Structure 1
Amino acid sequence: MLVEEIMNTNVITLTPNATIAEALQLLQNNRIRHIPIINSDKSVIGIVSDRDVRDASPSTFSKDTDNGVLQNEIQSIMSTPVVTVHPLDFVEEIAGIFYDEEFACLPVVSNDKLIGVVTEKDMLYTLIQLTGTNVQSSHIEVKVPHKPGILPEVASIFGKRKTNITSVLVYPYHDDPNYKILVFRIQTMNPLPVIQDIREAGYELMWPNNITGPKL
C-alpha cells in the first residue's frame, strides 16, 4: 500500500508570518493536532503541533497572563527542518519513521510541494485494514518451519475448504530463527473443520490451541 492511498489531501496550512493565535484557532476549530508551515511556493519549511502552541500560550491560571505572546509569529515556535515522505513511499516503510522518530504527523511532498499529510491515526486505521480486523472473521495462528514455500503450502489447506483468506501476517517465533508464525484471518464463523485439517497436516496451532475440530 502506498502513502498516496491513505494520505489526507485536505491540509490546513499557515505561512511563517501567521500568529500563534491564528494557529490556536485553527487547531481548535478543526480539531487537528498539526499544522504544516509553508512558504509562497507551497514548500514545507516547518510544522507546528498543538503541544507547541499550548506550550507557547500563556497560562490560564496566571493572574499576570500576557496574551501579547499569542501575536508572535508562528515561525518562532515551529519545528524545522521537517521530515517528509513521498506519495509513492510504501506505508509499511514510513511506519518505521513514525516509530523511530516518535512522530504523530508526516507531511507528504512531491516536487518540493506539500500535497498531503499522514497521521498516526491514518497509520492505525491502515493497520486495521491490513490485518483484516475490520471485517467479521476468524483468527488462526500456525507455527511453521522457516523455509521457502511454506506459506502457499499452509494456505492450500484453506483452499481445499474453499475458505476465503482476508489477511495474512508473518512474524518471528520468539528468538528461534528456525520457525515463524503465520497469522490468518478467514471469512468463516466456524473454523473448526479447517483447524482440524491444519492439525492433521502436522502443523502446530498457536491460536486457537485448545479447540478440536470434528472428524470429517
Structure 2
Amino acid sequence: MLVEEVMKRDVITLPPHEKIETALKLLNQYHIRHIPIVDEQNQVIGIVSDRDVRDASPSIFDRATKAEQLKNEIQSIMSSPVITVHPLDFVEEVAGIFYDQEIACVPVTEDNKLVGIVTEKDVLYTLIQLTGIHEQSSQIEIKVENKIGILPEVTNIIGSHKVNISSVLVYPYKNNYKNKILAFRVQTMNPMPIIDSLKSKGYEVLWPNMPGISK
C-alpha cells in the first residue's frame, strides 16, 4: 500500500515566525500532535510536536513568564531538518522510519512541496487492515521449509476447502532461516478441517495447536 492512499491531505501548518501560543491553540483545537512549519513556497523547513510546545510552556506555577514565552516564534522550538516521505513510498517503509528514527509523524512532500502528512496511528491502522484482523476470521500459523513454491502448495490446500484468505504474512522461524512461518487469516470461524488437511500433508501447524482441538 502506498503513502498517498493513507496520508491526510488537509494539513495544518504554520510559518516559522508564528508565535508558539498559536501552535498551542491549533494543537488543542484540531486534536493533533504535530504541525509542519513551512516557508512561503510551502516547503517543509521544520516540525513541532505537542511535546515541543509543552516543554516550551512554563509551569502553571510560573504564570508571570508563561505569556511571554508563548509569544516566542515557533522556529525557536521546531525540529529541523525534517525527515519526509514521498506519496509513492510504501507504508511499510514509513513504519521502518518510525521505528529506526523513533519518531511518530512524517510530512509527505512532492517536488519539495508539502502535500500530506502520515502519523504513527495512520500506519498502525493500515497494518491492521492489511492483516485482515478487522474481519471475522481465524488465524493459522504453519512452519514450513524455506523453499521456492511452498506458499502456493499451502494456499492450494486452504483453497480446496472453499475458504477465502484475508491475508498472508511470511516471516523467519526464530533465528533459523531454513524455515519460515506462514501466518494465514482465513474467512471461517472453524479452521479445524483446514488444519487437519495441513497436518495430513505433513505440515507442522503451530497455531492453533492446543490438545483436543485437532488431530
Structure 1 runs of 4+ aligned residues shifted over 3 Å read 63-66, 211-214
Alpha-carbon distance in structure 2 between the residues aligned to 1:94 and 1:63: 40
CA offsets 1:92-112 (integer angstroms, 9 cap, x no match):
112111100011100000011
> How high is the TM-score relative to the length of structure 1?
0.96
Q: Distance in 2 between matches of 1:38 and 1:134?
A: 37
1:31 paired with 2:31, answer: yes
Aligned pairs for 1:48-127 within 5 A: 48-62=48-62, 64-127=64-127
**1:61 Cα offset (Å):** 2.4
Q: Which residues in structure 2 correspond to 1:1-216 (within 5 Å)? A: 1-62=1-62, 64-210=64-210, 212-213=213-214
Inter-partner Cα distance in structure 2 for 1:7 and 1:45: 19
Q: Distance in 2 between matches of 1:65 and 1:95?
A: 40
**Is the 1:59–1:65 contact (alpha carbons within 8 Å) kept by the matching residues of 2?**
no
Q: Residue by residue, what CA displacement relative to the aligned partner does 1:83-136 show, whole Å, maximum 9, x if unpaired?
A: 100000011112111100011100000011000000000010011011111111
Quick one: which amino acid aligns to residue 71 of structure 1? K
Partners of 1:95 and 1:11 lie apart in 2 by: 20
Deviation at 1:177, TM superposition (A): 1.3
Distance in 1 between the 2:59 and 2:28 partners? 17
- State the 1:63 CA deviation: 5.7
Cα displacement (A) at 1:172: 0.8
Question: Secondary structure at 1:72's aligned position in 2?
Answer: coil
Give the AA of the match of 1:156: N
Query: Matched residue of 2:147: which SS?
Result: coil
- Name stretches of at least 5 consecutive residues in structure 1 with no aligned partner: none
Q: Distance in 2 between matches of 1:5 and 1:52?
A: 29
Determine the C-alpha separation between the residues in 1 that align with 2:119 and 2:172.
28
How far apart, CA to CA, are the structure 1 residues paired with 2:181 and 2:140?
A: 10
| Equivalent residue letter for 1:173 | Y
Partner Cα separation in structure 2 for residue 163 and residue 152 of structure 1 = 15
1: distance between equivalents of 2:56 and 2:14?
17
| Cα contact 1:23–1:74 (8 A) shared by 2 | yes
Normalising by structure 2, we get a TM-score of 0.97
Q: CA deviation at 1:62?
A: 2.8
For the Cα contact (< 8 Å) 1:195–1:212, is it kept in 2?
A: no
C-alpha distance in structure 2 between counterparts of 1:84 and 1:103, whole Å: 11
Provide the rounded CA distance (Å) in 1 between the counterparts of 2:91 and 2:161.
Answer: 33
Distance, in Å, in 1 between the alignment partners of 2:61 and 2:129 is 44
The gaps in structure 2 that reach 5 residues or longer are none
- Distance across 2 between alignment mates of 1:55 and 1:63: 15
Distance 1:63 1:128 in 2: 44
- Counterpart of 1:130, as a letter, is L
Helix, strand or coil at the partner of 1:37: strand
**Alignment CA distance shift 1:183-1:142 (3 Å):** same
Distance 1:63 1:2 in 2: 46
